Structure 1
Amino acid sequence: MNQPEPHEFEDREALAQALSNRIATALSDAIELRGRALLAVSGGSTPRELFKALSVEEIDWSKVTVTLVDERFVPPSHDRSNHRLVAACLLQNAAAPAHFIPLYNNAETPVEAARQASRQLEQAGDAIDVAILGMGADGHTASWFPGNEGLPELTSPTQEKPVMAAEGTGVPEPRLTLTLPRIAGARLLVLHIEGADKKETLDQALAGEAVEEMPIRAIFNSDAPSVQLYWAP
């Protein structure tokens, strides 16, 4: 199991600023090398301060494409939409010119929506330049949930689909999520967590290998480059 490289901060504001700076540098480097950059971000409450800090970074946002690590199968007007969060907190200020690829679309089913999102992502680049993961108290990341019948497919290292539909026990909406190869192939892969409880969950995940119990283990069991752990109490 690959151990993450830790970056610990006294408070969440310091973490947000440091991580924002690192992401901006990685995106600028990608633009210089390849003429464009692809950033995948997670939703939830944890990244709000990060998004606000990143939105004022002075880089060439017109050459950046932003997408989501995962999404609920709900329109962006829904209060649980990750698209809505990113639009409100990240795609503002200097970052307003960035191109956004949603995972949700008007397809009739999550499976068809995943197909359409996969096609768009494949056109955006061969690899994600920066992927920012979160983690739940149950050890899930992206929309890979413990007990999900489709988890082996989502976390298979040979999965060819970039985006798939997902379900989770007790999760109210169907989900759309990036699969393991797309996330593990990111040039910079960050796990952003906050609070002592999340640190305890991570320690538990790193102490075992069963992906079905704690799906984040799929990342540490993969051939991903060193995961950069950003944590603050």
Structure 2
Amino acid sequence: MNELTEFNARNDLDNELASTVSDILAKAIKEKGKASIAVSGGSTPKGFFSVLSQSDIDWSKVTITLADERWVPIDSEASNTRLVHENLLQNKAEKAKFFHLKQGDELTDETLEDLNVAASKILLPLDVLILGMGEDGHTASLFPCSDQITSGLDETNDAALLKVQPKTAPHQRISFTFASLMTSKNIFLHSCGEGKKTVLTQVLNGDDPFEMPIRAFLQHPSLNTQIFWAP
């Protein structure tokens, strides 16, 4: 299931999404003493990150991570870790903890196993998940072109994270699985631009998640994914 909210301007979306997420995190901190959020990369969330970073909550009790990451050096322009540090882990949010998905030079089986254990212990289930969407309908690094898409979308997959090698995009990736992300208490799809609105229409008019993996979230009967879109 999904619920679409359209905004007239990206600033309006950024402000509303930041306010909503801030309230959820504050409530989680009050109820259990901590909160967790996974965000997505790209240029779309920069404005949202900036607004959220100034929210007046106890950021020292918040752990931030990424829904996925490219296995590149952290100082690379392609690094989502760098993006988060430069745009979200600023201002009041500077006090938040960051769970690194990219650890070490090589994504070995041992590294992946260690990250799976740590993610399950520290992060899951997430209080907030902010997804993005590619032109091909991928979300996180669940690419329809990858050989890993079957395990990535498998609801019975016990692994929190998996290696992904997309065939239509550069860089090896590490991504949370659908099985782990679907346990998130609040799921949002943050999307901007007329091009993405066209993709979204295509997504909603079909039903095959292996063709467009974001459908796994938007059309799952037990999930309520909130779509925030602006031109």
Name the TM-score, length of structure 2 as normaliser: 0.96
Q: Quick one: distance in 2 between partners of 1:224 and 1:102?
A: 29
Show structure 1 runs of 5+ residues with no match: none
Question: 184, 194, 197: which one pairs with 2:195?
Answer: 197
* SS state at 2:86 partner: helix
Structure 1 residue 119, shift from structure 2 partner: 2.0
* SS state at 1:168 partner: coil
> 1:167 is aligned with what amino acid?
Q
Aligned to 2:65: 67
Show structure 2 runs of 5+ residues with no match: none
**CA-to-partner distance for each residue in 1:16-51, whole Å, 9 max, x for gaps?**
011000000000010011110000000001000000
User: Given the alignment of the two structures, is residue 227 of structure 1 paired with residue 225 of structure 2, yes or no?
Assistant: yes
Q: 1:38 to 1:224 in 2, by over 3 A?
A: farther
Q: Quick one: distance in 2 between partners of 1:170 and 1:112?
A: 27
**CA-to-partner distance for each residue in 1:131-188, whole Å, 9 max, x for gaps?**
0000011111000112211101001001111111101112221000010122111111
**CA-to-partner distance for each residue in 1:82-115, whole Å, 9 max, x for gaps?**
0000000000100011000011001533544332
Q: 1:93 to 1:180 in 2, by over 3 A?
A: same
User: Given the alignment of the two structures, is residue 117 of structure 1 paired with residue 115 of structure 2, yes or no?
Assistant: yes
Q: Quick one: distance in 2 between partners of 1:219 and 1:73?
A: 25
Q: 1:52 to 1:27 in 2, by over 3 A?
A: same
Q: Is the CA contact 1:110–1:175 (under 8 Å) kept in the aligned structure 2?
A: no
Aligned to 2:37: 39
Aligned to 2:157: 159
Deviating above 4 A after TM superposition, structure 1's stretches of 4 or more consecutive aligned residues are: none
Q: Quick one: distance in 2 between partners of 1:146 and 1:110?
A: 23
Greater Cα shift, 48-57 or 105-114 = 105-114
User: Given the alignment of the two structures, is residue 9 of structure 1 paired with residue 10 of structure 2, yes or no?
Assistant: no
> 2:176 is aligned with what amino acid?
L
* Structural mapping, 1:34-183, within 5 Å: 34-106=32-104, 108-109=106-107, 111-183=109-181
Q: Quick one: distance in 2 between partners of 1:14 and 1:207?
A: 27
Q: Quick one: distance in 2 between partners of 1:72 and 1:126?
A: 21
* SS state at 2:95 partner: coil
Q: Quick one: distance in 1 between partners of 2:104 and 2:79?
A: 14
Structure 1 residue 8, shift from structure 2 partner: 1.2
Q: Quick one: distance in 1 between partners of 2:110 and 2:76?
A: 20
**CA-to-partner distance for each residue in 1:55-82, whole Å, 9 max, x for gaps?**
0000000000000000001121111000
Q: Is the CA contact 1:103–1:114 (under 8 Å) kept in the aligned structure 2?
A: no
Q: 1:104 to 1:125 in 2, by over 3 A?
A: closer
Q: Quick one: distance in 1 between partners of 2:196 and 2:230?
A: 10
> 1:109 is aligned with what amino acid?
L
Q: Is the CA contact 2:81–2:100 (under 8 Å) kept in the aligned structure 1?
A: yes
* SS state at 2:170 partner: coil
* Structural mapping, 1:201-212, within 5 Å: 201-212=199-210
Greater Cα shift, 85-94 or 194-203 = 194-203
Aligned to 2:19: 21
Q: Quick one: distance in 2 between partners of 1:63 and 1:135?
A: 28
> 1:108 is aligned with what amino acid?
E
Q: Is the CA contact 2:141–2:173 (under 8 Å) kept in the aligned structure 1?
A: yes
